[in-house]
Structure formats: structure tokens, C-alpha cells
Structure 1
Amino acid sequence: MYGIAARLWRMMRGSWQWRLMWLAHAKFTVGVTGVVRDERGRVLLLRHRMWPRDRCWGLPTGHAARGEDFPGTVVREGKEETGLDVVPGRLVMLNSGFRLRVEVAYEAVLAGGTLKIDSFEILEAGWFEPDALPDSLMPVHRELIHRRVAV
């Protein structure tokens, strides 16, 4: 039985193999988060319009676009949501198991720009000391902030 399957697989070759693999495996979206800090060590937090009210504060976060590298997503989302320029650093989290979502987080540093929030997604933005974070901060984001990794 396995010999026949192997022969059929080898006969398909190329794009047909990829199509079959695509159909047989789970599809994921990739959520990318930036733990953005300024020169004083404060962390950038956003109050998200679409998130639950008891967990509305969080780090700059978005979905990776098709073909986009994840550090590039941190840069793009930072700019889109806040108008700020950020430089991504070290990978600090890579998790799966959220149904059809993979979560990725990078440390990042402020590189410039002027704070101007995207009012469609973001209600408010601010710089917070790590020991003075809002109560309604996403728990996983609180953990990322306190899991300080040098950039």
C-alpha cells in the first residue's frame, strides 16, 4: 500500500505535490507583535478599538501580509498604527496552537517619527514604564514586556 502511494507521489511532481500538501495541512494566519521601547526603556502601548474592553491595551500588533518577513511586519504595523519608525531586534516569542493562528513577537526600538495614531484601529497610545502598566493590558503582552531581552 505504501509503495503505491510513494510511486503516485513521485509521479505527480512539482506543483501538484504542493497543491496536495496545501489541501492536507492546516492554514495559519501569523500575528506579529512588537515590544517597542524608547531610549528610556519605556514600552509603547496602544488601546485597541477592536479588542475586549477588559484587555484593550496591548503592544503594536498585526497580521503578516503574504510574502512579508516578520520583522518587516513589525516595522509596517508600527508605522500604520502609530506613525512611528521602529527597528525590530531579537525574536522573543514564537507560539502556535491558537487554532489557526501563529504568534510571533520581536523586541524593537523607537527610531523616529511622530506619534499619530490610526483612529480606525487605535483609541489611544502612550509610553509606559514597565512597572506602571495599565490593568487592562493583555496578559501575554505583560509577560513579553517583563521578559526583557537585549536588542
Structure 2
Amino acid sequence: MKRLVARLWRLFRGPLQWRILWFAHAKFMVGVTGVVRNEAGQVLLLKHRMWPPERPWGLPTGYAVKGEEFPLTVAREVKEETGLDVVPGRLLTVTSGYRLRVEVAYEALCTGDDPLKIDTFEILEAQWFDPDSLPEGMQDSHRQLIKNTDPS
């Protein structure tokens, strides 16, 4: 049976193979999170309007758009939500297991000292926090990311 399937597969070269693969496999959105720090080592946290009211605080997060490199998603999301420019750094984690989502996290460094310009549609508040003084009402996964990447 395996040989027959392999023979048929070789006959379906090109676009037909890709179409079969597309239908046979799961489709995922990619959520990208940035652990953004300033020169003082503080972490940028956002109070998200659309997150659960008991856990509104978290790191800058958004979905990658088709064809976008994930580090650039961090830079775009931070710019859209806060007006700040960041330089993405190293990849921290890639996590699956969510229904239709893969989570990717990167370190990032804020460049310059521009004032925060909040996108009030998505964000209620943005603040810099010392890693040992994080607010209540924070996502546990984001708290762990910060803890596991503390440069001190």
C-alpha cells in the first residue's frame, strides 16, 4: 500500500501536490509577542482593551500578516500600538498546542526615547515596568517570558 501511495504521489507533482497538502493539514495563525526592553532594562507592558478584564496586562502582541517575517511583526505591532520604534532581537520561543494558533516570541530593544502614542482602539494604557515589579492582572505566559529573559 505504501509503495502505491508513493507512486501516486510522484505522479501528482507540482501544484496538485501542494493543493492536497493544503487540504490535508491544519491552517494556523501566528501570534507574535515581543519582550520589549528599554536601555534601563525595563519591560514595556500594555493594558489590552480586548483581553479578559481580570488579565488585561501583557506584552505587545499581534498576528503576523501573510508573508511577513516574524521579527518584523514585533516591530510593526509595537509601532502601531505605542508609536515606539524597536529593533527585534533573538527568538525566545515557538509554541504550538493552541487550537489554530502558533505563538512566537522575540526579544526587542526600544530605540530612542519617543513618547508613547497609544492606539486607544486596542490599548488602554502602556507603561515601562521593572522586571521585579510587574503589575497584577498579567498573563502567566508573559510573566514567564519576562522572567526567563531577564538580562540581569
| TM class by smaller structure | over 0.9
The number of equivalent residue pairs is: 150
Q: In 2, Cα distance between the equivalents of 1:61 and 1:42?
A: 17
CA distance in 2, matches of 1:3, 1:142: 50
The aligned counterpart of 1:7 is: 7
Deviation at 1:54, TM superposition (A): 1.1
Alignment of 1:1-151 (within 5 A): 1-112=1-112, 113-148=114-149
Q: Helix, strand or coil: the match of 1:39?
A: coil
Query: Post-superposition, which runs of at least 4 consecutive aligned residues in structure 1 deviate over 3 A?
Result: none
Which runs of no fewer than 5 residues in structure 1 stay unpaired? Answer: none
Q: Judging changes above 3 Å, is the alpha-carbon distance between structure 1 residues 12 and 149 closer, same or farther for their aligned structure 2 residues?
A: farther
SS of the residue corresponding to residue 97 of structure 1 reads coil
> Does structure 2 retain, via aligned residues, the 8 Å contact 1:92–1:149?
no
Q: Provide the secondary structure at the position in 2 that maps to 1:124.
A: strand
TM-score normalized with structure 2 length: 0.95
Structure 2 contact 131–150 (Cα < 8 Å) conserved: no
Percent identity of paired positions between Structure 1 and Structure 2: 65
Shift of 1:94: 0.9
Which amino acid in structure 2 is aligned with residue 27 of structure 1? Answer: K
Give the CA RMSD over aligned residues: 1.1
Flag the structure with higher strand content: 1
Partner of 1:51, secondary structure, is coil
